[in-house]
Amino acid sequence: MFPKLSSEFLGTFWLVLGGCGSAVLAAGFPGLGIGFAGVSLAFGLTVLSGAYALGPVSGGHFNPAVTVGLWAGGRFPSRDVPAYIVAQVLGGIAGAGVLFVIASGKPGFELGAFASNGFGEHSPGGYSLGAGLVTEVVMTFMFLIVILGATHKRAPVGFAGLAIDLALTLIHLIRIPVTNTSVNPARSTGTAVFVGGWALAQLWVFWLAPIVGAAAAGVCYRSVLQVEPEPAITGAPART
């Protein structure tokens, strides 16, 4: 179990350091800022690289909502859910900690939002709590549908990471203006710990909504979308 938990820690560490790091260090750099599109791509790239590097060890969840969604979809044992979530949250906090050390090394450093998620006055576009809840639930739901479909035994082998990466990139392109995009409670917790105050006060949204969306996706996929193998007909030749 230790290798799996270490993998989840490192993968979430990398996701927060790479994704949030792009927002904190590069998004608004004068003249060379990567903007929303660059940050969206950075989150996708961290998941893509982490999934192929660490996925063979732990399955490459790097996100409590993914763990819950896979459990709800019958793809992950309930006994391992708490340990995975703890490892992911610790990895997210560690990634944000390293990012804080790097970012604070610049003269005149101001913490600001530190890539935290928020709604209302803390939403990049000023979106309401209701808008934030809906987008977090719906986007996490669709993210898990992609994950469950791309990792199905009938899906093309070796392409799951690419599909998941592109889905996460798209989600960020849509949702950064609304809540700065979470769909990942560990990612939200990591930065909120350093911002404190309003970020911690609003953190419940970025746990509740992704978990609800992920669990709903797992149940939906398992009960509605999953295609089971057709039963064999006695005496009939096997189809290839």
Structural domain contains residue 235: no
Structural domain contains residue 131: yes
pLDDT of the residue at 228: 60
pLDDT of the residue at 171: 94
pLDDT of the residue at 57: 94
Structural domain contains residue 50: yes
pLDDT of the residue at 28: 64
Distance between CA 67 and CA 91 in Å, rounded? 15
Model-level pTM greater than 0.75? yes
**50: domain CATH number?**
1.20.1080.10
Over its length of 240 residues, how does the chain's per-residue pLDDT go in tens digits? 999 999 999 999 999 999 999 989 887 666 667 888 889 999 999 999 998 899 899 988 999 999 999 999 999 999 999 999 999 999 999 999 999 999 999 888 888 889 999 999 999 999 999 999 999 999 999 999 999 988 888 877 778 888 898 999 999 999 899 999 999 999 999 999 999 999 999 999 999 999 999 999 999 998 887 766 444 444 444 443
Structural domain contains residue 237: no
Structural domain contains residue 111: no
Structural domain contains residue 215: yes
Domain count, the chain: 1
pLDDT of the residue at 30: 61
Structural domain of 164: 2-104+117-224
Kindly tell me the burial class for residue 214, based on how many C-beta atoms sit within 10 Å of its own C-beta (0-12, 13-18, 19 or more): buried
Structural domain contains residue 233: no
Structural domain contains residue 234: no
- CA neighbor of 228 nearest in space, from 146, 152, 142: 152
- CA neighbor of 71 nearest in space, from 185, 224, 211: 211
- Mapping DSSP onto H, E and C, the string for the chain reads CHHHHHHHHHHHHHHHHHHHHHHHHHCCCCCCCCHHHHHHHHHHHHHHHHHHHHHHHHCCCCCHHHHHHHHHCCCCCHHHHHHHHHHHHHHHHHHHHHHHHHHCCCCCCCCCCCCCCCCHHHCCCCCCHHHHHHHHHHHHHHHHHHHHHHCCCCCCCCCHHHHHHHHHHHHHHHHHHHHCCCCCHHHHHHHHHHHCHHHHHCCCHHHHHHHHHHHHHHHHHHHHHCCCCCCCCCCCCCCC
